[in-house]
Amino acid sequence: MEPSTSPDNIDFTQVMDEQRENAAVGNSGTHLSDIISGSDQAIETVDLAADSSVEFRRMLEKSGSRYKILKLIAEGGFGRIFLAQDLILGRKVVIKSLKEKHLARPESVRKFIAEAKLNAQLDHPAIVPLYSLDTDSADGLHLAMQLVNGITLKEYLKRCRERQREEPPRNRRYERSLQVRLESFLRVCDAIEYCHSRGIIHCDLKPENIMLGRHGEVYVMDWGIACPEGTDRKGHLDGTPSYIAPETFRDGAATQQTDVFALGMILNEIVTLRDPVTGADFKEVITRVCAGEFEPSTPLNPRIHSLQHAKQTTSAFANGSKTFYRV
């Protein structure tokens, strides 16, 4: 018996695969990757080992000679994020600083420097560029990077949900909003395909780590736990349970499928405006993920009866494009 292809049984992979195949028809040789020869250099050939010694830090430039701190933006257990002024080029930048209590901990210092070195190897329009790694008179550590004016995808989806609840169910603004969200998702896929070609796994993809700029920019953020493909993370598994693949919980290996699973969960959330997995606590979420117990892919808007509508909505801009990541 052939599997049913009714709208109610169409899944995300089928939608993406069919749109990618349609996009490829009649467009052979027109995409940049078809024209520009050569392959990306595997990032494993770059030395990512981090020197956590005080002597190494004292070799760095003093951040105070170039950047003036304007205000604190955010603070976590590991570091602080500041808005700063580049005194030489006159631009606003973001400074990420390792907290003082971690400076005496070699593993924390190593992790901070390793993140900087890895980020510096990734050169892509959807990855925020790193400007410099600096120190100060107290041998501190500071990363200077591009300032992104915008909001996270998490905040954007929250606003979309609120708007959906306020508007009539037949309002066509949903279709326009869905197209914008899917276009942003494709740019995230481009960035992840690129980092995979460099042998790097992000390991923490989620709406909170995707920034949407005011002028249509899309950035994949927070490469703090990214690692070379094949890294064994068992015993020190970081990330958000809702977006971690079941096999990662079991064997801890960082593979391309680690990020692809997270992309699928993000796509589900983008289309339906619902959380892909829910639970009373992290333990319940992990249990449900490992058991494959995901929320039904039922869109928040009653106008959207199935993913067939998402397929129809994406076709307008998917045709002629080969940017769908091959999941």
Active site residues: 204
Task: Could you list the beta-strand ranges (E) of 1-114.
Answer: 67-75, 79-86, 92-98
What's at 322, amino acid-wise?
A: K
Contact by Cβ (8 Å): 92, 86: yes
Residue 49 vs residues 45, 207, 284: alpha-carbon distances, Å: 12, 29, 37
DSSP β-bridge partners for residue 132: 144
User: What totals of helices (H) and strands (E) does the chain contain, helices first?
Assistant: 10, 10
Place of tokens 């693949």: 245
Contact by Cβ (8 Å): 72, 96: no
Q: Residue 307: which of 91, 15, 4 has the closest Cα?
A: 15
Q: Residue 116: which of 144, 138, 140 has the closest Cα?
A: 144
* Residue environment code for 103-140, b if the CB has 16+ CB neighbours within 10 A, otherwise e: beeeebbebbbbbbbbbbbbebebbbebbbbbbbeeeb
Place of tokens 């993809």: 205
CB atoms within 10 A of CB 74: 10
50 in helix, strand or coil? Answer: coil
- In a 13 Å sphere around the CA of 208, the CA atoms on its Cβ side amount to 8
> Which two structure tokens, joined as six digits, stand for 197?
């070609």
Exposed/middle/buried for 210, CB within 10 Å: 0-12, 13-18, 19+?
buried
Task: State the first-to-last Cα distance of the chain, in angstroms, to the nearest integer.
Answer: 26
